[in-house]
Each structure stands twice: as C-alpha cells, then as structure tokens.
C-alpha cells in the first residue's frame, strides 16, 4: 500500500505497515522528525517499521502542491490527515482547495482518513461540507478508549466509492450519521469560522 501521512507525531501510525508498503510522511517541525527517527532514544517507530519510509520536511500542503506541479502525483491508497489535535489547527489543511489537492494525490479507490479528536473544536461539520462538495462518502469512527491506557479518538473516513466504506470492519465501528446535517458554510482558503465549531 502507498500511504501518505500529514503530521508525523512520534510515528506510531507507521507501526501498522506491512513489508512492501510505502509510507510518505509530511512534517513541518524538524524536531518532531528527529524524535520520531530515534534521537534521544525515546521512540523507535520509524526504525522498527517494515515500510519503505520517506519523510518530507515542510508544510504538507506546499509539499503536495510542489509534487503535483513537478508531475509526481503520489497515488496514495490511504492519505491520513493527523494535524487537528492541537488548540490551534492548521485551517489551510481543511479547506476546499486543500481537499482538491488531496484528491489529486489519492488513488481512485483510495481513502482519506482524518483524525479529528480535539478538546475544543468539532470538525465533523467541516468535513461533512467538504464531503458534500466533492461527492464523497463519509463515515465517522469513534473509539471510546480502553482500560489499558488507550485514549478516546475520533476519525472521519472519506472515499469516492461508497463500497470502500461499507466493509464490515468499518461498519461495525461506524457512528450512525443518518439524519445528520449542518448549515455551516464550506471552508475555503478565503473563508473559515472557528467560532461555529467550538464545543
């Protein structure tokens, strides 16, 4: 599988990789890259991974735009957006224009997976409007956490083909969004409103 990851963290998501997988990681903070690569001997997810890993330093959107301009669409099977957990989210990564870019890098049967866990902001309405604009199927997955130290987390999965999100493994954990709607405006590079999504 070809997997793109926006927001490296300490690299835990690469532990899901299988031999032969290709992971391309986009991270803006060089200190984060160093920690994930094992500096200080705190983390070893990258060095332990079975994937072919490349790390791109810089703003993920600018990096993706440059790759496309150079004629190198990544054709990701999965593109993970894991940049929204902080108190100050990068709004430019969750706009109509950003999603158009992601879709150009996504394989036709690929899935966008967005980690939307956030103490202060509810990003579901934003993703709902983006899914509606691009005619994408959308599923929300809530993980409640566990007694072994696992934290609660919330994910949005988006795909062009509805069948990709209808497999039992996804549907068993999916939140029922039947009847859900929102009237917030579609976020663009010219418009966003954090006050509308405050919890």
Side-chain-facing half-sphere of 48: CA atoms under 13 Å? 14
- Indicate the Cα dihedral angle 43, 114, 179, 191, nearest 10°: 130
Distance of CA 105 to the CA centre of its chain: 13
Asked whether the beta carbons of 26 and 63 are under 8 A apart, the reply is yes
pLDDT-wise least confident of 6-10, 71-75, 97-101, 183-187: 6-10
Q: What is the pLDDT of residue 79?
A: 98
Query: Which residue's structure tokens are 């990564």?
Result: 93
- Token pair, residue 146, equals 């566990």
How far is the C-alpha of 120 from the C-alpha of 94, rounded, in Å? 16
pLDDT digits (tens, 9 = 90+) for 120-173: 999 999 999 999 999 999 999 998 888 887 888 999 999 999 999 999 999 999
Asked whether the beta carbons of 141 and 175 are under 8 A apart, the reply is yes
What is the helix (H) or strand (E) element at residue 25, kind and residue range?
strand 22-27
- Token pair, residue 66, equals 């440059």
- Work out the pLDDT band at 20, boundaries 50, 70, 90: very high
Say what the pTM is. 0.94
How far is the C-alpha of 5 from the C-alpha of 185, rounded, in Å? 27
pLDDT digits (tens, 9 = 90+) for 60-114: 999 999 999 999 999 999 999 999 988 789 999 999 999 999 999 999 999 999 9
Q: What is the pLDDT of residue 149?
A: 76
Q: What is the mean pLDDT of the chain?
A: 94
Asked whether the beta carbons of 97 and 173 are under 8 A apart, the reply is no
- Neighbour order of strands in the sheet with 22-27: 52-57, 22-27, 2-6, 76-81, 106-115, 153-159, 137-143, 174-175
């Amino acid at each position: 599988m070809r997997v793109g990851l926006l927001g490296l963290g300490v690299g835990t998501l690469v532990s899901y990789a299988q031999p032969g997988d290709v992971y391309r990681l986009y991270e803006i903070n060089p200190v984060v890259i160093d920690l994930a690569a094992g500096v200080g001997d705190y983390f070893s997810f990258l060095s332990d991974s079975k994937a072919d890993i490349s790390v791109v330093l810089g703003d993920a959107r600018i990096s993706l735009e440059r790759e496309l301009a150079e004629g190198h669409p990544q054709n990701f099977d999965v593109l993970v957006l894991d940049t929204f957990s902080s108190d100050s989210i990068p709004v430019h990564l969750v706009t109509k224009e950003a999603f158009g870019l992601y879709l150009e890098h996504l394989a036709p049967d690929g899935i966008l997976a967005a980690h939307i866990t956030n103490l202060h902001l509810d990003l579901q309405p934003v993703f709902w409007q983006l899914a509606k604009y691009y005619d994408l199927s959308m599923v929300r997955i809530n993980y409640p956490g566990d007694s072994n130290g696992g934290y609660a987390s919330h994910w949005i999965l988006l795909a062009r083909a509805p069948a990709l999100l209808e497999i039992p493994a996804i549907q068993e954990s999916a939140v029922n969004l039947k009847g859900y709607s929102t009237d917030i405006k579609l976020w663009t590079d010219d418009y966003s409103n954090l006050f509308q999504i405050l919890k």
